[in-house]
Structure 1
Amino acid sequence: MTRTIDYGNLMHSAMRGLIKTVLQDVSEHGLPGNHHFFITFDTGHPDAKLADWLIDRYPGEMTVVMQHWFDNLEIGDEGFGVTLNFGDAPETLYIPYDAIKTFVDPSVEFGLRFETAEEDDEDLEPLEIVRDDDSEEPHADADVVSLDSFRK
């Protein structure tokens, strides 16, 4: 049997390491300037931890925003924990890095999308954004790097 290099999974691992590094810096120094993040993740991931009412409301995936108010950002090797405000109700979430589907910082038009082999762009539904501040709309013009194009 011929062994091959799995570039797709290696890229995913490297990009999740990038997210971990960025979040670690934010946990130590706060968000600089206008930076903020839209993070979409799989709410059904076995290691994701969030309130039952959030799982009921977002049974497949949800997008959270880290911008104006977040607390208790704790970075781990496999994921991160953060407390966010949902309609004046703080909730603590734990998001494994491998549950992340998209990570976008619209302030600098940076984005990553993690796709599985079963997904393609035609099957993706619009993201529902959960915001703690409705005064700003997400930027739709951010460049999203699709790592699926590197897979065979």
Structure 2
Amino acid sequence: MAQDPPAQDLMRYEAMAQDALRGVVKTALKRAAAPEGLPGAHHFYITFKTEAPGVSGPSDLLGKYPDEMTIVLQHQYWDLAPGETFFSVTLQFGGLPKRLSVPYAAVTRFYDPSVQFLLQFEAPAAPEGAAGRQAEPEIKTVAEGEPAPADGEAKIVSLDQFRKK
């Protein structure tokens, strides 16, 4: 008895699920942007593709992380503005304030270590010309429970230790 080929998903359920889960990120950022700020010990590690369409920020900063970058929203972030399709935030890098704008579609991981909540997303398609990159981004790691940097500088962290294997 011959098997029928699997039906093609013309509804694109996987893409719909990814979009719905990115809505969780948007809602969390909207709560963080409220006048009360982040409640309790909540804070976010947000990883995104720096070459994804719509990502913007200082070229020196994004050039330092040619593939992926993780930002931490905890104590020192300013002007968090979650929109419908992207969010913007100002963080300090090297003691200088720098503004980033990130489309939700560019986010690949969202992690709140205070409650061990992790969402992972499929990476967006790489723009033309970016596929040939070989360099890995420089990532500073932060041990769990480590206090915020004393100099007020934002930290870039690797979330490999939190990935499900």
TM-score by length of 1: 0.77
Give the structure with the larger helix fraction. 1
Structure-2 separation of matches of 1:116 and 1:93: 19
Residues 23-52 of structure 1 deviation map (CA, whole Å, 9 limit, x = unaligned): 011101301111111111011112011101
User: Identity over the aligned pairs, expressed in percent?
Assistant: 38
Q: 2:69 matched to 1:54? A: no
Match of 2:89 among 74, 82, 94: 82
Query: Structure 2 stretches of 5 or more lacking a match?
Result: 1-6, 126-135
Residues 119-144 of structure 1 deviation map (CA, whole Å, 9 limit, x = unaligned): xxxxxx89935779347988876576
Q: 2:44 matched to 1:37? A: yes
| 1:81 aligned counterpart, secondary structure | strand
Shift of 1:87: 2.2
Q: 2:113 matched to 1:102? A: no
Change (3 A) 1:109 1:140: farther
**Count of aligned positions:** 139
Match of 1:4 among 10, 25, 40: 10
Structure-2 separation of matches of 1:63 and 1:138: 7
Change (3 A) 1:55 1:9: same
TM-score by length of 2: 0.71
Q: Which has the larger radius of gyration?
A: 2
Change (3 A) 1:70 1:77: same
- Where do 4+ consecutive residues of structure 1 move more than 6 Å? 135-141
Query: Structure 1 stretches of 5 or more lacking a match?
Result: 119-124, 147-152
Residues 30-78 of structure 1 deviation map (CA, whole Å, 9 limit, x = unaligned): 0111111111101111201110111210011101111110000011111
Return the letter of the residue paired with 1:128. I
Aligned to 1:128: 139
Structure-2 separation of matches of 1:32 and 1:79: 22
Aligned to 1:19: 25
